[in-house]
Structure formats: C-alpha cells, structure tokens
Amino acid sequence: MNAPLTLAEVVYSLLIALPVTLFVGALVLRAACWMVGVAVPPLLYAMGMVLLTAFAMALVTVMVRLGIGFAGAGGGMNERQLQLGAGLLGLPLHVLAAAAIYAGMLKVGVGKAILIRLAELVLLLILGIVVAALVLLVRGSLR
C-alpha cells in the first residue's frame, strides 16, 4: 500500500535529491557536449536544460501513454502489449524532444543535438553499470 509522503521525505527530495540529480545530469550533458564537439554550457545553464528536458520527457511520456492507451483500447490489446508499444514509440520521441531543446538552447543543428542526446544516453548507461557494480561489490554479491 502506498503511504503518503512525510514532510521529511518531501524536504529531502526538494533540498537534496533534486539538486544532486540536476548536478549529475548537468555534468553528463556537459560531457556529452564535449564528446560531440560543441560548446560546453556553463554548469547552471546545463542544470536548467536538464530540468527543462525532464519536464519535456514527462510530457512526452504522458502523451505517448495516452495515445497508445486510446489506440490499444479500441484494438483489444492487453496491458503488456500497451507497455511495449509505449516503450518502443517513446524512446525515439524522447530523443527527438530532448534534441529539440538542445538545438534551441545550445544553438546547434538538429543532427548535433541528436548526437548530444545519444552521447548522454551512452554515458548514463555506463554510469548505471558502474553504480550497479559498486552496489553489488559493497553488498558482497559480486566477487
């Protein structure tokens, strides 16, 4: 059962988790810009871009799930098929939405903006693997 959030959890989320997440996201964005060879944005500007991109991703996700839900309900699709369809349609739309934001805010072409987003995804995948391996090492599950 989902319990309502306590005040301490809300304060933690707003004061600690959100800034840390934006900071890490900005570092990844700056590294991706460096990898692609475009001008690296300042840290605070990159944090703003990460926040704006997160809102855009949430909006795209809602729109894709609504669209797939309406289309799938008429076609008699089950929940698993709807989730798969939303995932397959959502990934390219997320890349394009982020690329549109990057193209406008970094003053680069759409092709470079797509490369920046793909470089970000690769860096985040590598970071996720490293963090997962460290957690497994600390827990003693990985030797």
pLDDT tens digit string along 30-75? 999 999 999 999 999 999 999 999 999 999 988 888 887 777 666 6
Q: How confident is the model at residue 143 (pLDDT cuts 50, 70, 90)?
A: low
Cα 127 to the chain's mean position, in Å? 13
Mean per-residue pLDDT of the chain: 88
Rounded CA separation 2/131 (Å):
27
Q: For the chain, which residues make up each domain, given as ranges?
A: 10-135
